[in-house]
Structure 1
Amino acid sequence: MKIVIVGAGAVGTHLSKLLSREHQDCILIDDDEERLAKMSEYDVMTYCASPTSIRALKEAGVPNADLFVGVTPEESTNINACILAHALGAKKTVARIDNYEYLAPSLQPFFKNLGLDSLIYPEVLAAIDINNGLKLSWVRQRWDVHDGALTMLGIKLREQAEILNQPLKDLCGPDDPYHIVAIKRGGDTIIPSGMDELRVGDLAYFMTTKEYIPYIRKIVGKEHYTDVKNVIMMGGGKTTVRAALTTPDYMHVKIIEKDAKRCEKLNELLENQDTMVIHGDGRDLGLLEEEGIRNTQAFVALTENAETNILACLTAKKMGVRKTVAMVENLDYVSMAESLDIGTIINKKTIAASHIYQMLLDADVNNLRSLMMVDSEVAEFTAAEDSKVTKKPVKDLGLPFGVTIGGLVRDGRGMLVNGNSQIEAGDSVMVFCHEQKLNNIEKYFKKNAIW
């Protein structure tokens, strides 16, 4: 596949690195030589030029591109570049935007006519992940499929868990209401077999159905975690605004922002919300005490500084907050943040890159998430008529090592999958993929794939 990306910022460079590992034909365009120079160690062609130069787009091979991605910091540049790329012959285009109005479903045909196949607003995607996490205070990461018909939960295991130090074959057999698809232990990712055991400190990924979420909470020993009602958010950027606008009605949100003018803007943007905006520094212990940190169930640090967010979450934990969320945009800090046990980690560029990456797959992929902690992806594939995955029971499919099918949704009902399960055409199938290229997996789900 040929992919052209304009914008060597955080999202563009991360997506380029991801594609270079997949050995895709990728070219990265930016008008800043220094930004492009940082990509020299990766298998990515770079081209220093204006993203909206027709000559440059032609020379970069846009007329033959399977996917054109506009992810510069400027929304108008991204939209214009995609319009030009479509006119030149690019098969699919996607633009990063920062205007929420453009995401309205009624406007999709309008943008499609302009030549934009998809719009990505990273802050909105991050806000969805934040609020999904806040709804379950005892979960590190949550991913719902088909309105929660199937749910994947990433849970840190403590001493109270009743499923520790027992072979998984005795815990989650074919008739049990959950599967464990991955375990993060120290710096290692384990794709578990029946003889593997869960240990204290593991980050375990459970696949289950929504009716069994309370049961999972019990067996992992998290029943004493109180539900989130009071939330303090630090930093008043776009991600905070989108998160505050979409928190459930039963949650009360306070936002702490250092800049006085930004506080005024936040009050305008959130005037119809049950949200209090406070001018101050979220690291000020006295201010946190004054604003009721001891009676707060969740602390969300969303400044642009990863170190500030990590330290603020550590402080909040010491002050008794159970649920902490930190935005960590510098990927070099992600493993450190996890080792410090700060809680949920949000990274906008990996979230955005996942949504863009799923457009590259030929199979019917409805959703794709990157799990930073376990260096893996979870993808929702739809099984095509006459595809290989429908020919045999799961145990006989010959799936590559590192690939696990966790569950499926059939006619709106979530079902867990075991070795004897038979996947049918039209099923939405949840595939966990570690250290495997997703384009090696999609062939199982494509119609009349050649073997």
Structure 2
Amino acid sequence: MKIIIAGAGEVGFHLAKLLSYESQEITLIDPDKTCLAYADSHLDIKVIKGDATSISILKEARIESCELFIAVTSSETTNITISVLAKQLGAEKTIARISNTEFIHYKDEIGFTQFGIDELISPEALAASEIELSLKQSSFNENYEFENGALTMAGLTLSKSASFVGKTVKEAATLFSKIHFIPIVIQRFGTQYSLIPRGDTEFQRGDNVVFITSEGGADELCKLTGKVNTEIKNVMILGGTQIGYKTARDLSEKGFNVKLLEGNRDRAFEIADTLTKVLVINSDGRNVDVLDEENIGDMDAFIAVGSNSETNIMSCLVAKSKGVKKTIALVENMHYFDLSHSIGIDTLINKKLLAANNIFRYIRKGGVVAMTKLNNLNAELLEFEVKATSAVCNKTIKSIDFPRSAIIGGIIRKGVGIIALGSFKIEEGDRVVVCCLLQSIKHVEKLFR
């Protein structure tokens, strides 16, 4: 697939990096010579120095043969303008990064597709949504919802109190009469080895396990693993960044008690004037004494979304030491995901990864309607819509030539999530959630074309 990315900033570079691993034909455009030089020397892609709003630059990038155009510069007006130009010049599909989430809320009413913009994404809004979901399922370290929660992905680390440690997947399934969850990928403790579990796979202490759950499955998992899905009510947010602002706004509107700490006086007053339901404190949240003064020990959750990843991590560690049950940190460095489980931070958020997940479904084949890459695991979760021509249509799961390095996690039929076993027959219109190790993605895509 020929893909053009306008903007070599943190999101653009990360996208180019991930897409280049997929052997896609990538062209990266940016006016900053330094950003392009680094990308050119580290990635197998083509780079063009120049302003992507220039029609001659777009033609130099061969925009007329572009299958996917992604505008992710730091300016949303530039991204919208470039996407409209790209569509008019022949780009097949266009995606524009925006910061004003009202555009997403009213996109159907305004009709952005009529202008030539097929999709709008906001990494900041995606991060705020991810944080809200993490608070909703507080006992899990990783979450993702398919079709508004018809099926939910839940990741956790097995402690010695988990009742199915030492049992096989098949033995664990017999602990409940009806199955509302299924393990889809396991990473063994202290390794980078990921495996797709089968009936005879044994759960071990320290395993990082990702499950798919239908309604009721999350509660069953909590009982089996000794976790407590604590109700989150009192939340403290460190940082009045865009993500901090959006998170505070959304949580306060849903009835959470929210405190927000912002060190910049002008920014703190600006937020306080806008978010009347949020207690905004103009103070340096990195100071332990300040956190104590603001009764951090009474908080159910602490969310650090400042501009510095290391500060966010250290603040969460302080919050954890004060007894806060749920800690969430925004980080830019992907390597920190390895660190999170060993040092005790519950959830890490990376807006580059969230944006990439949102965009990646456009390069997957076979009617992918949603996808997410699993943090620190070489696996992807893909949601396929079954067509009449799909190889899996009107077949039972056990009769499908499915690779060993992939597993069907669940089926969504008419809005209802189902944990489906081997005798389940897949029909046209079903939405099938599949977990694939990277080597099996192309094989699985063919089954759903």
Query: What TM-score range do you get, normalising by the shorter chain?
Result: over 0.9
Kindly indicate whether residue 240 of structure 2 is the aligned counterpart of residue 236 of structure 1: yes
Task: Kindly indicate whether the alpha-carbon contact (under 8 Å) linking 2:11 and 2:352 is maintained by their aligned counterparts in 1.
Answer: yes
Once the two structures are overlaid, the 10-residue window that deviates more, 82-91 or 209-218, is 209-218
Paired with 1:321 and 1:198, the residues of 2 have a C-alpha distance of: 29
Q: Which residue of 2 aligns with 1:280?
A: 283
Pick from 189, 200, 205 the counterpart of residue 200 of structure 1.
205
* One-letter amino acid of the structure 2 residue matched with residue 237 of structure 1: T
Report deviation, 1:386: 2.8
Pick from 297, 300, 322 the counterpart of residue 300 of structure 2.
297
Pick from 210, 216, 220 the counterpart of residue 225 of structure 2.
220
Pick from 376, 385, 390 the counterpart of residue 388 of structure 2.
385
Q: Which residue of 1 aligns with 2:216?
A: 211
Paired with 1:351 and 1:71, the residues of 2 have a C-alpha distance of: 13
Give unpaired runs (5+ residues) of structure 2: none
Q: Which residue of 2 aligns with 1:449?
A: none
Kindly indicate whether residue 95 of structure 2 is the aligned counterpart of residue 91 of structure 1: no
Report deviation, 1:337: 2.9
Task: Kindly indicate whether the alpha-carbon contact (under 8 Å) linking 1:184 and 1:373 is maintained by their aligned counterparts in 2.
Answer: no
Kindly indicate whether residue 168 of structure 2 is the aligned counterpart of residue 153 of structure 1: no
Paired with 1:20 and 1:83, the residues of 2 have a C-alpha distance of: 25
Kindly indicate whether residue 379 of structure 2 is the aligned counterpart of residue 376 of structure 1: yes
* One-letter amino acid of the structure 2 residue matched with residue 41 of structure 1: H
Q: How does 1:29-428 map to 2 (within 5 A)?
A: 29-39=29-39, 40-107=41-108, 109-172=110-173, 176-185=179-188, 186=190, 187-223=192-228, 226-247=230-251, 249-271=254-276, 274-428=277-431
Q: Alignment partner of 2:145: what SS? A: strand
Paired with 1:61 and 1:405, the residues of 2 have a C-alpha distance of: 39
Report deviation, 1:182: 1.0
Paired with 2:29 and 2:403, the residues of 1 have a C-alpha distance of: 35
Once the two structures are overlaid, the 10-residue window that deviates more, 313-322 or 274-283, is 274-283
Number of residues of Structure 1 aligned to a counterpart in Structure 2:
443
Paired with 1:125 and 1:376, the residues of 2 have a C-alpha distance of: 20
| Cα deviation digits, residues 356-407 of structure 1 (max 9, x gap) | 1112234322211121221322121110013101253223322234211100
Paired with 1:439 and 1:92, the residues of 2 have a C-alpha distance of: 22
- TM-score, normalized by length of structure 2? 0.94
CA RMSD of aligned residues (A): 1.8
Q: Alignment partner of 2:111: what SS? A: helix
Report deviation, 1:228: 0.9
Once the two structures are overlaid, the 10-residue window that deviates more, 391-400 or 52-61, is 391-400
Paired with 1:423 and 1:30, the residues of 2 have a C-alpha distance of: 46
* One-letter amino acid of the structure 1 residue matched with residue 247 of structure 2: A
Q: Alignment partner of 1:388: what SS? A: coil
* One-letter amino acid of the structure 2 residue matched with residue 342 of structure 1: I
- The runs of 4+ residues in structure 1 deviating greater than 6 Å are none
Report deviation, 1:424: 0.9
Paired with 1:232 and 1:409, the residues of 2 have a C-alpha distance of: 36
Q: Which residue of 1 aligns with 2:22?
A: 22
Q: Alignment partner of 2:230: what SS? A: coil
Task: Kindly indicate whether the alpha-carbon contact (under 8 Å) linking 2:300 and 2:324 is maintained by their aligned counterparts in 1.
Answer: yes
| Cα deviation digits, residues 237-257 of structure 1 (max 9, x gap) | 011111112226332111111
Q: Alignment partner of 1:129: what SS? A: helix
Task: Kindly indicate whether the alpha-carbon contact (under 8 Å) linking 1:183 and 1:191 is maintained by their aligned counterparts in 2.
Answer: yes
* One-letter amino acid of the structure 2 residue matched with residue 227 of structure 1: E
Task: Kindly indicate whether the alpha-carbon contact (under 8 Å) linking 2:94 and 2:118 is maintained by their aligned counterparts in 1.
Answer: yes
Taking only the aligned residue pairs, the percentage that are identical comes to 38
Q: Alignment partner of 1:281: what SS? A: coil
Q: How does 1:2-13 map to 2 (within 5 A)?
A: 2-13=2-13
| Cα deviation digits, residues 157-214 of structure 1 (max 9, x gap) | 2222111111112112695322100122333322222232223322211112122322
Task: Kindly indicate whether the alpha-carbon contact (under 8 Å) linking 2:394 and 2:428 is maintained by their aligned counterparts in 1.
Answer: no
- TM-score, normalized by length of structure 1? 0.94
